[in-house]
């Protein structure tokens, strides 16, 4: 497989065939290509929800339904963005990206139908597990955990604190929180990124961590 990075106009034969058929003005070949692509998207979506089934509270028929919804929405997005395909990968890889991202997003939204932990719960007693710092094994653990809590309480804005507690303390999946708060996942990630910087800086200042971290981007 040696397709990634092809310049425009250098499509491999299979990708060119997909584009030709999906763009055909003649209805029958186009419908057949759409049917074939949709079948592939459904297969990939079903495999993906199955692969993720151990890490989501969504189960059973709901998972199957999510897979079919993801395939349908991915199909619509692919057809709407067909002209944006630049041949930087095989067409089918580009198409599969849509369905994988749809599965991820939909699992995030469905998380709230039966969430194992509610938003704003704040399970601080689980922080040692979350951060992998065992007070039984490290005399410094109590100080580290207290400093993390202090930074979160004193140095983060209410919004940053809410996001940090949801993701890091309560273990709510990023896609689920993004769906609940109506934010892009990148916005959530940036909050956590900045919180990591602040916490590490503070732990270094207190002497718990001894090497400088990387600079902020």
Partner 1 sequence: MSDLDRLDRFLRTDPRDVGCGEAMAVLHIYAELAAAGQDPAARYPGVGAHLAACGPCSENFAGLLVAVTSG
Query: Residues 120-159 vs partner 1: string with x where CB under 8 A?
Result: -----------xxxx--xx-xx--x---------------
Evaluated on CA atoms 40, 41, 42, 48, the torsion sign reads positive
- Cα pseudo-dihedral 96, 99, 105, 111, rounded to 10: -120
Q: Is 7 in the site for partner 1 (CB under 8 A)?
A: no
Q: Is 59 in the site for partner 1 (CB under 8 A)?
A: no
- The single residue among 71, 174, 179, 191 that binds partner 1, judged by CB under 8 A, is 174
Backbone φ and ψ of 57, nearest 5°: -75, -10
Cβ 37 vs Cβ 70: under 8 Å:
no
Q: Pick the piece of the chain touching partner 1 (CB under 8 A) from 1-9, 14-22, 73-81, 109-117.
A: 1-9
| Per-residue mark of binding to partner 1, 10-49 (x: CB under 8 A) | ----------------------------------x--xx-
- What are the tokens at 88? 């930087």
93 is a site residue for partner 1 (CB under 8 A): yes
Find the binder of partner 1 among 94, 152, 161, 166 (CB under 8 A). 94
Is 90 a residue that touches partner 1 (CB under 8 A)?
A: yes
Cα dist from 75 to 57, 95, 126, whole Å: 26, 8, 41
**By the rule CB under 8 A, 206 interacts with partner 1:** no
Please state, in angstroms and rounded to a whole number, the distance separating the CA atoms of residues 115 and 57: 7
CB of 94 to partner 1, least distance (A): 5
CB of 28 vs partner 1, minimal distance in Å: 26
Distance between CA atoms of 85 and 157, rounded to whole angstroms?
A: 40
**Which residue, 80 or 214, is less far from partner 1 as judged by CB?**
214
For 151, other C-beta atoms within 10 Å of its C-beta total: 19
- The answer to whether 142 and 94 have CB atoms below 8 angstroms apart is no
Q: Please tell me whether residue 97 binds partner 1 under the rule CB under 8 A.
A: yes
- In angstroms, rounded to a whole number, what is the distance separating the alpha carbons of residues 116 and 181? 17
When asked if residue 112 is in the footprint of partner 1 (CB under 8 A), the reply is no
Beta-carbon-side half-sphere exposure of residue 29 (alpha carbons within 13 Å): 10
Binding interface with partner 1 (CB under 8 A)? 1-5, 44, 47-48, 51-52, 55, 88-90, 93-94, 96-97, 99-101, 103-104, 131-134, 137-138, 140-141, 144, 173-175, 184-186, 189-190, 193, 196-197, 199-200, 203, 208-209, 211, 213-217
């Amino acid at each position: 497989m040696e397709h990634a990075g092809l310049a425009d106009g250098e499509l491999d034969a299979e990708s060119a065939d997909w584009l030709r058929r999906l763009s055909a003005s003649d209805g029958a070949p186009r419908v057949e290509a759409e049917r074939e692509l949709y079948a592939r998207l459904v297969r990939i979506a079903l495999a993906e929800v199955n692969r993720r089934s151990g890490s989501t509270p969504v189960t059973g028929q709901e998972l199957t339904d999510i897979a079919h919804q993801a395939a349908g929405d991915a199909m619509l997005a692919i057809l709407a963005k067909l002209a944006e395909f630049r041949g930087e990968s095989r067409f089918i890889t580009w198409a599969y990206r849509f369905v994988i991202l749809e599965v991820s997003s939909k699992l995030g939204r469905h998380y709230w139908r039966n969430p194992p932990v509610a938003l704003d719960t704040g399970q601080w007693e689980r922080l040692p597990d979350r951060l992998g710092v065992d007070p039984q094994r490290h005399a410094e653990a109590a100080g580290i955990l207290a400093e993390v809590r202090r930074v979160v309480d004193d140095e983060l804005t209410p919004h940053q604190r809410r996001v940090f507690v949801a993701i890091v303390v309560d273990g709510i999946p990023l896609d689920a929180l993004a769906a609940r708060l109506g934010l892009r996942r990148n916005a959530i990630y940036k909050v956590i990124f900045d919180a990591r910087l602040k916490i590490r800086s503070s732990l270094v200042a207190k002497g718990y961590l001894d090497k400088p971290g990387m600079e902020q981007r």
